[in-house]
Chain A
Amino acid sequence: MDIQFFIELFFGGLTRGSIYALIAIGYTLVYGIIELINFAHGEIYMLGAFTALLVAGALGVYGFPTESILLISALVAVIWCSAYGFTVEKIAYKPLRGAPRLSPLISAIGMSIFLQNYVLLAQTSDFVPFPRLLPPMEFLEYIDYIMGPSDFLILIASALSMGALTLFIRFTKMGKAMRATAQNRKMALLLGINADRIISLTFVIGSALAALGGVLIASHMGQVNFGIGFIAGMKAFTAAVLGGIGSIPGAMVGGLTLGLAESYTTGYFSGNYEDILAFAILILILIFRPDGILGKAKVQKV
Chain B
Amino acid sequence: MSRISKAFFTALWFMLLTLPVMGIKLNLMENRVDWRLDRVLYLGVAAFFLSMLWTWLFSRKKRNLPLIKAPAFIKIDFYGLSANRAVRRGFFASLILGLIAVPLLASFYQTNIMISAMLYIMLALGLNIVVGLAGQLVLGYVAFYAVGAYAYGLLHQYFGFGFWICLPVGGILAALFGLGLGFPVLRLRGDYLAIVTLGFGEIARLAMLNWTSLTGGPRGISDIPRPGFFGIPLNINEATIYIYYLALIAVCLTVVVVLRLKNSRVGLALQAVREDEIASEAMGIDITRAKLSAFALGSCWAGFAGVIFAAKTTFINPASFTFMESAMILSMVVLGGMGSISGVIIAAVILIMAPEYLRAFSEYRMLIFGAIMVLMMIFRPQGLVSGEKRDYQVSALARKEADAQ
A interface, CB within 8 angstroms of B: 35-37, 47, 50-51, 54-55, 57-58, 61-62, 76, 80, 83-84, 87, 91-92, 95-96, 99-107, 109-119, 121-123, 128-129, 230, 234, 237, 241, 272-273, 275-276, 279-280, 282-283, 286-287, 290, 300, 302
Contact digits for B177-200, partner A, Cβ 8 Å, 1 yes 0 no: 000000011001111101110111
The reply to whether A122 and B195 form a contact with Cβ atoms under 8 Å apart is no
- Interface contact A110-B371, CB-CB below 8 Å: yes
**B12 within 8 Å of A by Cβ?**
no
Given A62-B33, A95-B58, A105 contacting B191 (CB threshold 8 A): yes
In the complex, identify which listed stretch (B15-23, B154-162, B346-354, B385-393) lies at the interface while the others stay far away: B15-23
- Find out whether the CB atom of B196 lies under 8 angstroms from the CB atom of A283: yes
A113 touches B327 (CB 8 A): yes
Beyond A116-B366, A234-B198: 14 further Cβ-contacts under 8 Å? A54-B20, A54-B24, A54-B26, A92-B377, A101-B189, A102-B137, A102-B194, A106-B330, A110-B373, A113-B324, A113-B367, A113-B373, A282-B195, A283-B196
**A286–B203 touching, CB < 8 Å:** no
| Chain B residue nearest to A128 in the complex (CB) | B26
Residue contact A121 to B364, C-beta cutoff 8 Å: yes
Contact B192 A286 (CB under 8 A): yes
Bound complex: CA A102 to CA B383 (Å): 14
Contact A275 B202 (CB under 8 A): yes
> Which residues of the partner chain A approach B190 to less than 8 Å between Cβ atoms?
101-102, 105
Whether a CB of chain A sits under 8 angstroms from the CB of B378 is yes
B33→A58 contact, CB < 8 A = yes
Q: How far is the CA of A218 from the CA of B310 in the complex (A)?
A: 39
In the complex, are the beta carbons of B370 and A111 less than 8 A apart? yes
Whether A110 pairs with B374 at a CB distance below 8 angstroms is yes
A51 near B210 with CB under 8 A, answer: no
Beta-carbon contact of A80 and B20 below 8 Å: yes
Asked if B331 is at the interface (CB within 8 A of a chain A CB), the reply is yes
Alpha-carbon distance between A287 and B39 when the two chains are bound, in angstroms: 47
A107-B26 in contact given A121-B364, A287-B184 (Cβ < 8 Å): no
Please determine whether A106 and B20 come into contact, CB atoms closer than 8 angstroms: no
CB pair A237 B195 closer than 8 Å: yes
Which 8 residue pairs across A and B have the least CB separation, nearest first? A110-B373, A114-B370, A113-B370, A117-B367, A279-B199, A110-B374, A107-B377, A57-B26
Contact check, A118 vs B367: say whether CB atoms are below 8 A apart.
yes
Docked Cα-Cα span, A112 to B16, in Å, equals 20
Q: Which of A109, A114, A282 has a CB less than 8 Å from the CB of B367?
A: A114
* Chain A residues, CB < 8 A from B25: 123
Cβ B378 vs Cβ A95 within 8 A: yes
CB distance from A144 to the nearest CB of B (A): 29
> Is the Cβ of A276 less than 8 Å from the Cβ of B26?
no
B17 close to A80 (CB less than 8 A):
yes
Pick from B21, B26, B196, B327: contact of A61, CB below 8 A: B26
Shortest distance between the CB of B356 and any CB in chain A (Å): 18
Residue B235 at the chain A interface, CB threshold 8 Å? no
CA distance A287 to B323 in the complex (A): 21
- Is A105 touching B370 in the complex (CB atoms < 8 A)? no
Q: Which of B1-17 contact A (CB under 8 A)?
A: 13-14, 16-17
Whole-angstrom distance between the Cβ of A122 and the nearest chain B Cβ:
5
Q: How far is the CA of A36 from the CA of B39 in the complex (A)?
A: 33
How many whole Å from A35's CB to the nearest CB in chain B? 8
Q: A87-B13, A237-B195 are in contact. Are A129 and B374 (CB under 8 A)?
A: no
Taking CB atoms, residues of chain B closer than 8 Å to A57 are 24, 26, 28, 33
Chain B interface residue count, Cβ-Cβ cutoff 8 angstroms: 58
Complex Cα distance, B25 from A122, in Å, reads: 9
CB pair A282 B196 closer than 8 Å: yes
Interface residue B31 (Cβ < 8 Å from any Cβ of A): yes
Contact with A283, one of B14, B28, B200 (Cβ below 8 angstroms): B200
Contacts of B13 in A (CB 8 A): 87
* Residues of A contacting B202 in the complex (Cβ-Cβ under 8 angstroms): 234, 275, 279
A129 (CB) vs chain B CBs: closest residue: B28
Given the known A-B contacts A92-B374, A105-B194, A129-B28, are A113 and B366 also in contact in the complex, defined by CB atoms under 8 Å?
yes
In the complex, A37 Cα to B192 Cα: how many Å? 9
Contacts A61-B32, A95-B58, A282-B199: A110 and B210 contacting too (C-beta < 8 A)?
no
Considering the chains assembled together, what is the distance between the CA atoms of A119 and B22 in angstroms?
8
Most buried by B among A102, A114, A286: A102
The answer for the CA separation of A237 and B191 in the assembled complex, in Å, is 12
For this complex, 22 residue pairs linking A to B, each with C-beta atoms less than 8 Å apart, are A54-B21, A76-B20, A92-B378, A99-B377, A101-B190, A101-B191, A103-B381, A107-B373, A109-B139, A109-B327, A110-B372, A113-B366, A117-B366, A118-B21, A119-B21, A121-B363, A122-B18, A123-B21, A230-B323, A234-B202, A276-B203, A280-B199
Residue B81 is within 8 A (CB to CB) of chain A in the complex: no
> With a CB–CB cut-off of 8 A, which chain B residues contact A107?
373-374, 377-378
Q: Are A276 and B210 in contact, CB atoms less than 8 angstroms apart?
A: yes
Q: Which residues of B contact A37 (CB under 8 A)?
A: 191, 194-195
A104 CB to closest chain B CB (Å) equals 7
- What's the Cα separation between A102 and B338 when bound, in Å? 11
Distance from A163 Cβ to chain B, minimum over Cβ atoms (Å): 29
Would you give the shortest CB distance from A49 to chain B, in whole angstroms? 11
Q: Decide: A273 near B21, CB < 8 A? Known: A109-B373, A283-B200.
A: no
**A55 near B20 (CB under 8 angstroms)?**
yes
* B21 nearest CB across to chain A (Å): 5
Chain A residues whose CB sits within 8 angstroms of the CB of B115 once the complex forms? none
- B303 lies within 8 A of chain A by Cβ: no
In Å, the complex CA distance between A37 and B137 comes to 13
CA distance A35 to B189 in the complex (A): 12
Query: Of the candidates B21, B323, B330, which one forms a contact with A51 in the assembled complex, judged by CB atoms under 8 Å apart?
Result: B21
Q: Which residues of A contact B18 (CB under 8 A)?
A: 122
CB-nearest residue of chain B to A230: B323
Beta-carbon contact of B196 and A106 below 8 Å: no
Q: Which residues of B contact A119 (CB under 8 A)?
A: 21
- In the assembly, what is the distance between CA of A51 and CA of B24, in Å? 9
Is B234 on the interface with A (CB-CB < 8 A)?
no
Interface centre among A57, A110, A237, A283 (most CB of B within 10 A): A110
Which residues of chain A are near B371, meaning CB under 8 Å?
110, 114
